[in-house]
Chain A
Amino acid sequence: MKKIIILSMILWGVALSSLSAAKEYMIVGARPDKLFVIDIKARKVEKTFTIPDSTAPQNIVISPDGKIAYVITNHLRSIVGIDLTSGDVVFRADLDYKDDERTWNYGIDISSNGSELYSYDIPTKIHLDRYESLEPRLSVFKTDGGLEAAPVREFPMPRRIHMLMTAKSGALYAMGWDFYKVDVQTGDVQVAYPLRNWTQKNLSQPDALAFWPSWDNNGIFSTPIVYVRTDMAEDNMERFRTGLLSLDLDTEKFELTDFQSAPEILFSSVFHPDRKTAYAAYNTLIKIDLENPHTAKRIDLDHTYYQTDISADGKEVYVGGTACDVAIYSTKDLSRLGEVILPDCPDMGATVIRMIQK
């Protein structure tokens, strides 16, 4: 295990140094129809794009070349591809493309070569006088599908998935009741890491609802996860535990790091690129020591933030979502370094943060 971690660190180290010449940008959305490109080190919004026919941007996926942002909007019902240089709409899939269906997206990612988008769709058939909830499916779109894109492949999927992520190898992972590995050619779904029926000794079924892609600058998916130690006395508050569940998108290894009891709600987390610390937020921002798992520092935030992210150099941790500001803290001691207020203070709601280099 240790060996793999070191190996992956080296790999990412190489990737990062090759990028260090590029400039770093943060991409966020806001209600009803805005997409912002932020020069984060300059604390400045560099570009503001308007997404046509949009209500509430949420998830965002960036093409591997960093040129196009695919935004989930319209209350989970549309995927809109925006060219990050010109702001042009280069792709659009309204998921209600089938007659009489209402379809929500609950997870999206892009293939590692940038040619295909994977959308986890939950459809409902709208009859004249009743609704019929259908089984969810994976819809695969070609990224060159144009402005009325329709899926080229569809596969049935388990229910209640809330996040998709593509590993470096091209394998697709889906987090839901369990963590699944999905074959995007055949639709085959295998449990890659059990959660609902997990095999962790003396631990209850965990609860984790992750929506936040925080792997852009560290190559690792992570999320706070809570569970109960069933071997501890009922009146011992220490039995309520918080861990970080992570999937290394390079090695495809899962890890669970138990680091504290459950004194606070945490919505999202991000690993430091050096993988020695991680950060998690909601009403508080905490710094987690991963080498000797414990909470090394905790501060109160000025309001609730959903997503946590980090700069490529590992010096700054970012929190965003819920309001119109991104707050910036030092990864070293969680001291406040600054903030970016979005122009006209639009509501970021549940939009995600993505980090790109260009």
Chain B
Amino acid sequence: MTPSNISETEMLVGNTLLSDNCSGCHMASDDGSFSRISHMRKTPEGWDMNIARMMIFHGLEIEPQDRRALVKFLSDTQGLAPAETAAHRDILERKHNTIEQDVDPDLAAMCARCHTYARVALQRRDKAEWQNLVHMHLGQWASIEYQMLSRERDWRADALGPVSEKLGQMYPLKTAVWADWQATEWKDMSGEWRIVGHYPGKGDMEGTMKVTSLGGDNYQTEFTLHFVGQTLVGKGKSIVHSGFEWRGTATFPDEKVRQIWAASTDGNSMTGSFFNKDHFEESMVITAWRKTSENGIMGIVPSAVKVGVETEVVISGVNLSGDVTIEGAKVTVTSATADRIVAQVKADGTTEGDVKLSVGKDVSIQTIYAQVDYLKVTPEYGISRVGGGGGPIPKVKAQFEAVGYSFGPDSVAGTDDDVRLGMLQVTWAVDNYSEASAEMQDAKYAGYITAQGTFIPEVAGPNPDRKYGTNNAGDLKVIATYTDGARILTAEAHLIATVQRWNNPPIM
């Protein structure tokens, strides 16, 4: 059956590419299938890594444009449905400091030691093909059965037996969601989009994106993004795989960025990460809404206002119109378009906590607080990596952000009624995490933290000044200090400043 979203011509071209490039090793059958290849489904990144392995391990020679075309064809015909990627998008979107969720503990012990669990859970195939993949692992890495966390078990027997069985049940080739998604009409993404996002430690962004079709699910993009104090204009190209996997690159005056987003099934919104091409840790999570006849509020900046302090609040959205009101606050609108309303807001203290903000008939939440009661640093546990120093691998920075909270009605910290007040301006410092790190003077050697909470690690390689001539790794605490008049609040996070990763595959 030809999926309705892919034309006869596209099918023919794709199959010809497989035949030309792959059939020397992967037998073509009369039914049009190719051995191995036709029996699994992967994300675009999964297919691309697969073809890279064919090149590196098996000597496949393929033109770059054919490789891209095959990734597109295979993702469209043998991809994952939106619901099948939902649980593991953080890894797919290269979000830094991700602690994986939705992990089967048995499988994780066997399969999430060298790479993420997502790499496994973002593939679909039946038991026999999971077994083939296990054989590839056993034949490729001599030490796989000998490494710690393998060697106490019969790794091979477990992997070929119960693990392949379970994988085939949890992540099978044929699923109803994929069949349904193939039968759903995949939407054209061209049009005007409204976009909001947040850069941890740096602040909020709101802007617009204009998308023009170039044909074949390829698009041209134009961005106008407003950050606090500056507006950036950029241009780029994007492609949509599997009907919803938006992948883009764009060039801004000072940097090149990439986008890995997922479109909603109705094609009217997208979410995902927007990150520096060379530093995926410099990333913001965005939401984009198509400017349709629908309307709504996408973001309010700042999300919290302090009682008695007149604050400029920016409300971003689509097709906004009508009166702006906030419970318990005086609102003076200073400018208003359908996309963006700027208002001076002063809370009178009659209410605190999350209150109703409305623009005409659209409602959202504004937070009102009397004082910041405590702060938290996110992530609680961060990772940076040494790099640079003439070596091939750039440093991986770690970005921290301080978030304020009020105790809420019960006046107790850490309870359900605590109110999140958003990012705070704080001062940053690092210190040794433990006695052992103090003895090694990690805080002195591992790097420094900027005023915006970015930890910049030191260069890679051994450091002759250090004990044992060790490298510039370290175990640190990151300390945020918030000053509110005479009150001083602090919070800490844990930072592992560690060594490089030698390869940074698309799916870690």
The one of B135, B142, B151 that contacts A132, using a Cβ cutoff of 8 Å: B135
**Chain B interface helix/strand/loop/mixed:** loop
Q: Is the CB of B468 within 8 A of A302?
A: yes
Given A131-B140, A209-B146, A300-B468, A124-B135 contact (CB < 8 Å): yes
* B residues near A160, Cβ cutoff 8 Å: 145-146, 151, 154
CB of A295 closer than 8 Å to a CB of B: no
Q: Is the CB of B139 within 8 A of A207?
A: no
Q: Is the CB of B152 within 8 A of A133?
A: no
The one of A102, A128, A130, A159 that contacts B145, using a Cβ cutoff of 8 Å: A159
CB of A25 closer than 8 Å to a CB of B: no
CA gap between A102 and B58 in the complex, in Å: 13
Instruction: Please encode chain A, from 116 to 149, with 1 for each CB lying within 8 Å of some chain B CB and 0 for all others.
Output: 0000001010101111110000000000000000
Question: Residues of A at under 8 Å CB distance from B?
Answer: 75-76, 102, 104, 106, 122, 124, 126, 128-133, 159-160, 162, 177, 196, 205, 207, 209, 283, 300-303
CA gap between A179 and B36 in the complex, in Å: 39
CB of B132 closer than 8 Å to a CB of A: yes
Q: Is the CB of A303 within 8 A of B139?
A: no
Question: Residues of B at under 8 Å CB distance from A?
Answer: 25-27, 35-36, 132, 134-136, 138-140, 142, 145-146, 148, 151-152, 154, 156, 468-469
Sample of 10 more A-B contacts, CB < 8 Å, known A130-B132, A160-B146, A302-B468: A128-B27, A130-B136, A131-B136, A131-B138, A159-B145, A159-B154, A207-B148, A207-B151, A209-B151, A300-B468
Q: Is the CB of A130 within 8 A of B468?
A: no
CA gap between A129 and B35 in the complex, in Å: 8
Q: Is the CB of B469 within 8 A of A303?
A: yes
Can you offer 29 A-B residue contacts whose CB atoms are under 8 A? A75-B142, A76-B142, A104-B142, A106-B142, A106-B146, A124-B135, A126-B139, A129-B25, A129-B26, A129-B36, A130-B136, A131-B132, A131-B135, A131-B138, A131-B140, A132-B139, A133-B134, A133-B135, A159-B154, A160-B146, A160-B154, A177-B154, A196-B152, A207-B151, A209-B146, A209-B151, A300-B468, A301-B468, A303-B468
Q: Is the CB of A162 within 8 A of B146?
A: yes
The one of A106, A129, A131, A159 that contacts B139, using a Cβ cutoff of 8 Å: A131
The one of A102, A124, A130, A300 that contacts B36, using a Cβ cutoff of 8 Å: A130
Given A104-B142, A131-B139, A302-B468, A159-B156 contact (CB < 8 Å): yes
Q: How far is the CB of B164 from chain A (nearest CB, A)?
A: 13
Residue on B nearest A162 in the bound complex, by CB: B146
* B residues near A301, Cβ cutoff 8 Å: 468
Residue on B nearest A104 in the bound complex, by CB: B142
* A residues near B140, Cβ cutoff 8 Å: 131
Given A102-B139, A302-B468, A303-B469, A128-B154 contact (CB < 8 Å): no
* B residues near A209, Cβ cutoff 8 Å: 146, 151
A130, A159, A177 — most chain B CB neighbours (10 Å): A130
Q: Is the CB of A302 within 8 A of B469?
A: yes
CA gap between A133 and B25 in the complex, in Å: 19
* B residues near A177, Cβ cutoff 8 Å: 154
Q: How far is the CB of B6 from chain A (nearest CB, A)?
A: 25
Q: How far is the CB of B33 from chain A (nearest CB, A)?
A: 12
Q: How far is the CB of A327 from chain B (nearest CB, A)?
A: 13
Q: How far is the CB of A266 from chain B (nearest CB, A)?
A: 14
Q: How far is the CB of B440 from chain A (nearest CB, A)?
A: 12
CA gap between A277 and B25 in the complex, in Å: 58
* A residues near B26, Cβ cutoff 8 Å: 128-129
CA gap between A169 and B134 in the complex, in Å: 40
Residue on A nearest B150 in the bound complex, by CB: A160
Residue on B nearest A205 in the bound complex, by CB: B152
* B residues near A302, Cβ cutoff 8 Å: 468-469
CA gap between A126 and B138 in the complex, in Å: 11
Residue on B nearest A283 in the bound complex, by CB: B468
Q: Is the CB of A129 within 8 A of B27?
A: yes
The one of A104, A126, A131, A207 that contacts B152, using a Cβ cutoff of 8 Å: A207
* A residues near B152, Cβ cutoff 8 Å: 196, 205, 207
Residue on A nearest B147 in the bound complex, by CB: A209
* A residues near B27, Cβ cutoff 8 Å: 128-129
The one of B135, B142, B154 that contacts A122, using a Cβ cutoff of 8 Å: B142
CA gap between A129 and B408 in the complex, in Å: 62
Q: How far is the CB of B160 from chain A (nearest CB, A)?
A: 8
* B residues near A106, Cβ cutoff 8 Å: 142, 146
A133, A196, A205, A303 — most chain B CB neighbours (10 Å): A133
The one of A133, A207, A300, A303 that contacts B138, using a Cβ cutoff of 8 Å: A133
Q: How far is the CB of A59 from chain B (nearest CB, A)?
A: 13
CA gap between A303 and B468 in the complex, in Å: 6
Q: How far is the CB of B302 from chain A (nearest CB, A)?
A: 46
Closest 10 CB pairs of A and B: A124-B139, A133-B138, A131-B139, A104-B142, A131-B135, A128-B25, A129-B25, A129-B26, A133-B135, A129-B36
* A residues near B151, Cβ cutoff 8 Å: 160, 207, 209
Q: How far is the CB of A69 from chain B (nearest CB, A)?
A: 22
Q: How far is the CB of B225 from chain A (nearest CB, A)?
A: 46
Residue on B nearest A123 in the bound complex, by CB: B139
* A residues near B156, Cβ cutoff 8 Å: 133, 159
Q: How far is the CB of A179 from chain B (nearest CB, A)?
A: 15
CA gap between A128 and B138 in the complex, in Å: 16
Q: How far is the CB of B39 from chain A (nearest CB, A)?
A: 11
Residue on B nearest A132 in the bound complex, by CB: B135
Residue on B nearest A158 in the bound complex, by CB: B154
CA gap between A61 and B120 in the complex, in Å: 41
B148, B156, B469 — most chain A CB neighbours (10 Å): B156
Q: How far is the CB of A291 from chain B (nearest CB, A)?
A: 32
Residue on A nearest B34 in the bound complex, by CB: A129
CA gap between A179 and B314 in the complex, in Å: 71
* A residues near B25, Cβ cutoff 8 Å: 128-129
CA gap between A129 and B140 in the complex, in Å: 14
CA gap between A190 and B188 in the complex, in Å: 67
Q: How far is the CB of B410 from chain A (nearest CB, A)?
A: 34
A104, A160, A301 — most chain B CB neighbours (10 Å): A160
* B residues near A196, Cβ cutoff 8 Å: 152
Residue on A nearest B136 in the bound complex, by CB: A131
CA gap between A132 and B136 in the complex, in Å: 7
CA gap between A124 and B156 in the complex, in Å: 13
CA gap between A82 and B175 in the complex, in Å: 59
CA gap between A208 and B26 in the complex, in Å: 41
* B residues near A131, Cβ cutoff 8 Å: 132, 135-136, 138-140
CA gap between A106 and B142 in the complex, in Å: 9
* A residues near B138, Cβ cutoff 8 Å: 124, 131, 133
CA gap between A106 and B468 in the complex, in Å: 31
* A residues near B142, Cβ cutoff 8 Å: 75-76, 104, 106, 122
CA gap between A128 and B148 in the complex, in Å: 32
Q: How far is the CB of B471 from chain A (nearest CB, A)?
A: 11
CA gap between A300 and B139 in the complex, in Å: 38
Q: Is the CB of A133 within 8 A of B139?
A: yes
B25, B35, B148, B151 — most chain A CB neighbours (10 Å): B151
CA gap between A92 and B142 in the complex, in Å: 21
* B residues near A207, Cβ cutoff 8 Å: 148, 151-152
CA gap between A43 and B26 in the complex, in Å: 57
* A residues near B35, Cβ cutoff 8 Å: 129
Residue on B nearest A131 in the bound complex, by CB: B139
Q: How far is the CB of A159 from chain B (nearest CB, A)?
A: 6
CA gap between A128 and B25 in the complex, in Å: 5
* B residues near A303, Cβ cutoff 8 Å: 468-469
CA gap between A196 and B154 in the complex, in Å: 11
